[in-house]
Amino acid sequence: MSKQGQRVILSLRQMIVNGDLAAGERLREESLAERLGVSRTPIRVALKLLAQEGLLQTVGARGYAVRQISTEEIRNAVDVRGVLEGMAARLLAEVGLTESVRDTLKQCLDQGDQLFSRGAIDEGDVVTFHDLNMTFHNTIIDNCGNGAVKSAIMLNDHIPFASVHSIAIDSSAMDREYLRLTFANVQHHLVYDALINRQGTRAESLMREHANAALRYAEIFGVGNGDRGSVKILRSDLTAD
Amino acid sequence: MSKQGQRVILSLRQMIVNGDLAAGERLREESLAERLGVSRTPIRVALKLLAQEGLLQTVGARGYAVRQISTEEIRNAVDVRGVLEGMAARLLAEVGLTESVRDTLKQCLDQGDQLFSRGAIDEGDVVTFHDLNMTFHNTIIDNCGNGAVKSAIMLNDHIPFASVHSIAIDSSAMDREYLRLTFANVQHHLVYDALINRQGTRAESLMREHANAALRYAEIFGVGNGDRGSVKILRSDLTAD
DNA sequence: CTTTACATTTTTGAATCCAATAACCTATAT
DNA sequence: ATATAGGTTATTGGATTCAAAAATGTAAAG
């Protein structure tokens, strides 16, 4: 896969993710080729790969549109991620933490604690916690010793909003966001405790539940109901290499 | 995707699965195009898709070889499948069985019982049980109400031998095969019992353990150590549409 | 008004050619 | 013997063209 080929895939992914290509929108090789300033050939390759990746759906006998994903599909994918991340935590508890893994996780916890230590948060804090959250999750997944789990999580993460990479920030409900995120931070503590104590089943259950922190907890804590202007979706997935 | 395009992908998959294209073998567009009697274009598409599917690995800066898969990778994938199939069983127990799902599962059980009722089995019986096993598993997965689970299982199944679709038959150890398969059939009964009694956690645990029936149980029961001529690998996956 | 048939347009798929790049080989210098 | 440089070959990637197939539009019939 050449540089240009990869750039085309990345660009199309980005356009899908940031809404330049809207859900349900019909994609035509020729217009995309014009838009990206290349011939149809790399577009055709990219469309097939993105379709296989799950970002596109076929239209009629041939051709693609940006895949429309229902709320139910997102929830289903979040559940699958919970189960897989739970498995990763269990495996890590079983094999035990190296010094360096332990340090990384501990650092996430400490920085999370510090973030919440003043009793309130702003948008920047949400983003910071989001990064810590990603590091915490990825450290567990990357060190659990089972590459098939990581693959399965990555493939499942192609459902937008199901992954740990997405956050929504509702600036009109920061007090409730504070509550939600401090709870999630405590969950991290509990997972860590289970890990260092080699409690695989406990780690699995905790981590499985923790997958609900983004969507379900947002609902439960009444986050994300602010007007359009106060809700920001940040996406850092799918556009990475 | 045209008929020819799909045929090319299927053919290449088949050749990978049945060993015509050996693990580690370098694949060249031109020679494959000649071999399949098409131009390079559909081969190029197919290679990229099969690579994304996990069947091929990249070689150097470009080009592909048939992916070499270690025993550990297979084991890891079996574990992931166990966790995902366990999840499917739990979900099905939670939503409950329709009449028709119940009938299908019961039928598998009855036919399994009948198969083992004479106290010994032959190769044909192994194949028959294999089909029943597949139907049992697929019925649970297809009716668990979470499409993301099914997707994750299908994607994980691209690791050869990790899926429920593969069986090995060691004709030199049919008494031990009998033992292994009757045990697996009892496991089916227990899963069914958990399902109809809405016992989600039980169903999940049973189904998770059951994923080990093919590989680990074969080891434990000393199956598959016969000489080359007495071990047949049957594959019904990856060549289906 | 609906359905069917036919013609036209649009879009994708395949083939072919050319370009780019990586891999390999050989010769030379250290 | 090893490393480097240069040349050649092999292979993939992109562009273009032509073909095939699907989608769309229009007219006619019921």
pLDDT tens figures, B190-216: 999 999 999 999 999 999 999 998 888
Q: Which of these, A43, A17, A19, A44, lies nearest to A160 by C-alpha position?
A: A17
ipTM above 0.90, yes or no: no
Any strand D atom closer than 7 Å to B68 CB? no
Q: Diameter of chain A by CA atoms?
A: 58
> By percentage, how much of chain B surpasses pLDDT 90?
63
In sequence order, which residues have a C-beta less than 8 Å from that of residue A217 and are 6 or more positions away? A180, A183, A184, A223
Region A79-108 average pLDDT: 97
Residue A46 (CA) to nucleotide D19 (C1'), in angstroms, measures: 23
Which of B69-83, B129-143, B159-173 comes out lowest in average pLDDT?
A: B159-173
- Name the pairing type of β-strands A56-58 and A64-66: antiparallel
Tokens of B116: 């083992």
> By percentage, how much of chain B surpasses pLDDT 70?
89
Name the residues contacting strand C (CB < 7 Å): A 2, 27-30, 40-41, 44, 62-64; B 1-2, 4-5, 8, 38-42, 45, 60-62
Dihedral sign (CA B186, B191, B197, B201): positive
Shortest CA gap B117–chain A (Å): 38
Q: Does domain A3-66 have CATH number 3.30.450.20?
A: no
Tokens of B10: 């299927």
**What torsion, rounded to 10 degrees, do the Cα atoms B34, B40, B46, B50 define?**
70
Q: Are A81 and A162 in contact (CB under 8 A)?
A: yes
For residues B140 and B150, what is the distance between their CA atoms, to the nearest angstrom?
10
Residue A39 (CA) to nucleotide C4 (C1'), in angstroms, measures: 39
pLDDT of residue B241: 34
CATH 1.20.120.530 residue spans of chain A: 71-235
Tokens of A206: 């905790």
Region A142-155 average pLDDT: 95
**AA identity, residue B80:** V
Residue at token pair 């015509």: B20
Beta strands in A97-213 (DSSP E): 166-170
| pLDDT tens column, A7-42 | 999 999 999 988 899 999 999 999 999 999 999 999
> By percentage, how much of chain A surpasses pLDDT 90?
64
CATH 1.10.10.10 residue spans of chain B: 3-66
Could you say which nucleotides of strand C lie within 7 A of any protein CB atom? 11-17, 21-23
Helix (H) or strand (E) holding B235: strand B231-235
pLDDT of residue A169: 74
Q: Are B95 and B194 in contact (CB under 8 A)?
A: no
Average pLDDT, chain A: 89
CA B6 and chain centroid, separation: 21
Any strand D atom closer than 7 Å to A36 CB? no
CB-CB neighbours of A228 under 10 Å: 6
For residues A198 and A210, what is the distance between their CA atoms, to the nearest angstrom?
18
Pick the CATH number of B71-235 from 1.20.1260.10, 3.30.450.40, 1.20.120.530, 3.40.800.20: 1.20.120.530
| pLDDT tens column, A63-88 | 999 999 888 998 999 999 999 999 99
| pLDDT tens column, B40-65 | 999 999 999 999 998 999 988 889 99
Any strand D atom closer than 7 Å to B28 CB? yes
